[in-house]
Structure 1
Amino acid sequence: MVCRAPCAVHGTSTSSTTTTTSRAVEVSKDDSHALKRSSGAAHIDAELQLLLRLLPPTVRAVLENHPDVETLVEVVMDLGRPPSARFPGGDVLLSDRAMTAEDLEQAVKQVGRFDGDNRSGIDSTLHRISCIRNRAGRVVGLTCRVGRAVPGAAELVRDLVLAGRSILLLGRPGVGKTTALREVCRIAADESRRRVVVVDTSNEIGGDGDVPHPSIGSARRMQVPRPEAQHDVMVEAVENHMPQVIVIDEISTLAECTAARTIAQRGVQLVGTAHGGRLENVIKNPSLADLVGGIQSVTLGDEEARRRGVQKSILERAAPPTFDVAVELEERGRWRVHLDVGGAVDAILAGGWSACVGGRGRT
């Protein structure tokens, strides 16, 4: 199948890179197990214990003895309902007993303060605790998400990072965008020896606390006082700290897109994430479309429309894209990489997207 949008499949082998019509990749199970056996595994286990301490003792004991605890994604605790754990293979009830107000209060007391976005963390870890409040502002639910440092999580785009390409990671929540960002930070800062600044709005990249988690290497981290100030901190990072690389999680507003374009125009490598399963979703999102060049309606003359074989009114890319490369994280370990964002967007607008749907990977 020929893909009209320039994209390629990144394999796990470093011996050669094959540019083809569509490239999708998967981290093999053997690779995953090897990562667990790495020297960082004990450190990750210790951090997981800190998260489990938030749970009621009986619930904690169930998880500690669960055979798949190392793959735990998150724990959900809602008032009046039994707690549950989410694993890659599905959800598991942790108790027949419903959570009480006292259970939640005890957990909240250990977490401490929640920020304006109702998120918090555990000092020196990558975990994220998010709360649900009732109309009176009282916490009635907690989502305790496990954060892990995974060595090799960005191996499939290592060459692009080292080459200085600006990269946009796309995908739904939970597919590993932030995990990959941490490894990108480490590669750029420690291996490429460049000045890296992380704009960390919710402390998800560098973890909670004032000292960044070691998983981001020697990259510097700027915390953001409130989510709506992220675009200001992005510009501040460029103006005050002379970075060669800026890393941002969850670009979501028009102001942040404008700040990202400003950064790219100054010659700074940009690596960021956005919600949206595919590049097509970004094109259709008015808040994010500027990241890939923006879309404008163009009216063609009769002769030009006949020559192209299209209607007189068409959609075209308005400007060069902010990012050079777009990576669609379809699921954990399966990525599709568009090496030329501008060309891919042009092909999608010309009706060539269906030819890019296919892809191969390894399980």
Structure 2
Amino acid sequence: MTQRRITDDLPALLAVLPFKFVNQVKQANNADDLLEIILDLGRLPMARYVDREVEISDKEVSRAEIDEVLTRIGEFDADNRAGIERTLHRISAIRNKHGVVVGLTCRVGRAVYGTIDIIEDLVKSGKSILLLGRPGIGKTTMLREAARILAENTRVVIVDTSNEIGGDGDVPHPAVGRARRMQVAQPSLQHEVMIEAVENHNPEIIVIDEIGRELEAAAARTIAERGVQLVATAHGRTLENLLLNPTLSDLIGGIESVTLSDEEARRRGTQKTVLERRAPPTFDVLVELQERNRVAIHEDVAESVDALLRGYPLQPEIRYRDENDQIHVEKPQPRPTASAGGSQGLRRSSPNGFKTSTDQNREYAGKAPFSAADTGLQSEPAQPQLSLEKIAIYPYGVARNRMEQASKKLGVPAVVARDLRQADVLITLKSYYRKHQKPIVTAEEHGIPIYVLRSNSGNQIEQAFIELFNLNEAVGRNVNLEEVNTQTLEAIDAVQNGQRWVDLPPASARVRRIQHELVREADLVSHSYGKEPNRHVRIFRE
């Protein structure tokens, strides 16, 4: 367990305040829980603590007292924030319509060493992480600690818009360790500095505080698609808040309205117009800071968003630190059995080996499809990942997160190579290939195979993987027809006995024709769904 250590340099902040306010704060004797001091013209000054607010004078704040503070701090930036050299404290101004400062929020900036241990495994996993939480709960503190820990072994660049991560002044605060810091002249230019950091300084990890604009969300997606890990905070408290925020929903894939066919709407038991996730999420993991020592973790953002849109939200993993600084982990409960799948509810898997409606939803959410052991077929696996060798792929101009989604969906052992010298294959886009850029020329010189895609879409990447791993040849060989018949008849029996529908495992066109014929003989309905090699038969009642 990492020993927690707090450094806040509180005397530096108190030194800018009028002396009579300082005495009251010291008398409260609760500096560790002090969040900020509020000075509003014509009102009583307040000290805000974690659990309460305290008046620090019985007299209203005067113009002279506000001016006294202004003379002791630096200039305000375009976002009306100022700092104190070599500290993490922040002073924010409220102005009247003439631009005159009439209120000040003096926030205590703290470097708390050891706070990141509650999610340290996620931070070091290489996945992009987004932190959510209400103001003052400790998002920036945790972000700063993450930057310090990661910078010990990787190249980290902090995009510091308000100087809250690295502190005020040209020299970053020691709390960020070896991480490099880029300051932002104006908040509206944060997205440009984000892209500049990637293009000019070769980072492996970008750390960003407060993604709050659409351009910043777009820049974050661009960075993620270039293979750079992101660790960031955003406005919002929960996954659902973020999903409903039209400006920032793209961070977790975005949502769009989709019109279903009559048949599909009846099958789902929904209206014809539903919401679906628009794209792969920019961030792989989402952490909700519920309290200072308690977080909720969505380890697979794509799966969590898909489940939320379908009306059965997944329970996040809960982690919390107790009074003795011990960390406890509460794994989510199994998914509830009641849903729109029929009167019998949804089950995790069928004892007969075919997939139920829950399994189908899990597959759509990005899980690998069933293996041969699940299908019961005496053949090579329908998804042959167990017998395939890993292929190291170097993406040049191709979205890494979409490659990972395609790998999960097809169940193939594709790994992203960060160095071209470690790659078995290079995948790029036609526009890059035509320009004969350096990585492509290098790959040709070293005899590394190159796959050229027409576009950066998930479908194009999936087709490349199907060709790379010879999946079309692997599906449906040496099928035991007797086992196919038995399995299909068991599925038919389940539907006839009340189950609303049953999905059979992915199969070749030859096997699917046999399955459809058996279903017709039983006076039931069947259709094929999905794309090769995952195309499968669904059996249901009319």
* TM bin (shorter chain): 0.7 to 0.9
Aligned residues: 322
Note the 1:34-113 alignment, pairs <5 A. 35=4, 38=5, 41=6, 43-44=7-8, 47-113=9-75
Larger RCO (CA within 8 A; separation ≥ 6): 1
Tell me the secondary structure at the aligned position of residue 141 of structure 1: strand
| Aligned-residue offset at 1:358 | 9.4
Q: Distance in 2 between matches of 1:273 and 1:305?
A: 37
Task: Give the percent of matched residue pairs that are identical in Structure 1 and Structure 2.
Answer: 57
Tell me the secondary structure at the aligned position of residue 154 of structure 2: coil
Q: What amino acid does structure 2 have at the position aligned with 1:92?
A: V
Which of 129, 135, 144 aligns to 2:91? It is: 129
| Partner deviation per Cα, 1:282-329 (whole Å, 9 max, x = no partner) | 111110011001111111111122222222111000110000000011
Residue 256 of structure 1 corresponds to 216
Are 1:356 and 2:315 counterparts?
yes
Are 1:207 and 2:145 counterparts?
no
Note the 1:118-267 alignment, pairs <5 A. 118-190=80-152, 193-267=153-227
- TM (norm. structure 1) is 0.86
Q: What amino acid does structure 2 have at the position aligned with 1:317?
A: R
Note the 1:256-335 alignment, pairs <5 A. 256-335=216-295
Q: What amino acid does structure 2 have at the position aligned with 1:67?
A: N
| Partner deviation per Cα, 1:36-55 (whole Å, 9 max, x = no partner) | xx4xx5x53xx210100111
Which of 295, 299, 305 aligns to 1:339? It is: 299
| Partner deviation per Cα, 1:122-165 (whole Å, 9 max, x = no partner) | 11000010011111111111100001000111111111111111
Q: What amino acid does structure 1 have at the position aligned with 2:238?
A: R
| Partner deviation per Cα, 1:89-143 (whole Å, 9 max, x = no partner) | 2000001111111110010011131111110111100001001111111111110
Unaligned runs of 5+ in 2: 323-542
Could you tell me whether the CA contact under 8 Å between 2:297 and 2:316 is conserved in 1? no
Residue 6 of structure 1 corresponds to none
Q: Distance in 2 between matches of 1:326 and 1:159?
A: 14
Q: Distance in 1 between matches of 2:167 and 2:184?
A: 13
Q: What amino acid does structure 1 have at the position aligned with 2:33?
A: T
| Aligned-residue offset at 1:361 | 4.5
Tell me the secondary structure at the aligned position of residue 110 of structure 1: coil
Of 149-158 and 235-244, deviating more is 149-158
Tell me the secondary structure at the aligned position of residue 250 of structure 1: strand
- TM (norm. structure 2) is 0.58
Q: What amino acid does structure 2 have at the position aligned with 1:144?
A: C
Q: Distance in 2 between matches of 1:194 and 1:179?
A: 20
Tell me the secondary structure at the aligned position of residue 154 of structure 1: helix
Could you tell me whether the CA contact under 8 Å between 2:289 and 2:296 is conserved in 1? yes
Could you tell me whether the CA contact under 8 Å between 2:296 and 2:319 is conserved in 1? no
Q: Distance in 2 between matches of 1:349 and 1:151?
A: 38
Q: What amino acid does structure 1 have at the position aligned with 2:296?
A: R
Q: Distance in 1 between matches of 2:312 and 2:145?
A: 33
| Aligned-residue offset at 1:345 | 0.3
Going from structure 1 to structure 2, the CA distance change for 1:160 and 1:359 (only over 3 Å counts) comes to closer
Going from structure 1 to structure 2, the CA distance change for 1:315 and 1:176 (only over 3 Å counts) comes to same
Q: Distance in 2 between matches of 1:305 and 1:84?
A: 56
Q: Distance in 1 between matches of 2:81 and 2:252?
A: 29
Could you tell me whether the CA contact under 8 Å between 2:265 and 2:272 is conserved in 1? yes
Tell me the secondary structure at the aligned position of residue 59 of structure 1: helix
Q: Distance in 1 between matches of 2:136 and 2:52?
A: 13
| Aligned-residue offset at 1:272 | 0.6
Could you tell me whether the CA contact under 8 Å between 2:85 and 2:168 is conserved in 1? yes
Tell me the secondary structure at the aligned position of residue 104 of structure 2: strand
Tell me the secondary structure at the aligned position of residue 283 of structure 2: coil
Q: What amino acid does structure 2 have at the position aligned with 1:79?
A: L
Root-mean-square deviation (CA), in Å? 1.6
